[in-house]
Copies of this chain bind each other. A is one copy, B any other.
Amino acid sequence: MEHRNQTSTLISVQQEDFDPGTEYQQLENSMSVGAITTFTGTVRNLNLGDQVGGLFLEHYPGMTEKALQAIVDEAQQRWTLQAVRLIHRIGQLYPGDRIVFVGVTSAHRKEAFAACEFIMDYVKTRAPFWKKETTPDGDRWVDARDSDQEAAERWR
């Protein structure tokens, strides 16, 4: 597919915060677009009713980048995209902190929306990250959600 060569892709796994405004600007500059869709996930301070004091994001170094690249590659095979930006943070995070950013540009909004949501659904179910929450009752591993599995399965 010729358009795959024209897609600009950047994937980062990092402890540092990122600036969505700057990321947005770079997406917009990357090419003559039409539609730009972004998703940012942040740490909520409530999960299943308990107060969350913090979150530790464990990952599988080495596999993480590979898994994210595979997800972005699949998005590029499914839709005609111009640029994709994917950032996932690791380590200790606190309520309000950003965790993940997905930015997609395409000539058409339907493709930009679909690819952005697809990437998030697949990151949630196929990328080796695990959250451990700090609550007043102690630390606990966050359980995988059936709703995330279902969200990913509708793309099959």
Contact = CB atoms under 8 A, between A and B. Distances in A.
A95 B32 contact: yes
B35 A36 contact: no
Interface stretch (A39-47, A70-78, A126-134, A136-144): A39-47
- Interface residues on chain A, size class: 20 to 34
Contact of A28 (B20, B44, B116): B20
B36 A40 contact: yes
A113 B107 contact: no
A109 B41 CA distance: 8
A57 interface: no
A90 interface: no
Contacts of A38: 24, 36-38
Nearest to A24: B20
A145 to B, nearest CB: 10
Sorted nearest first, the 7 A-B pairs with minimum C-beta distance are: A21-B21, A36-B40, A34-B44, A38-B38, A113-B117, A20-B24, A33-B42
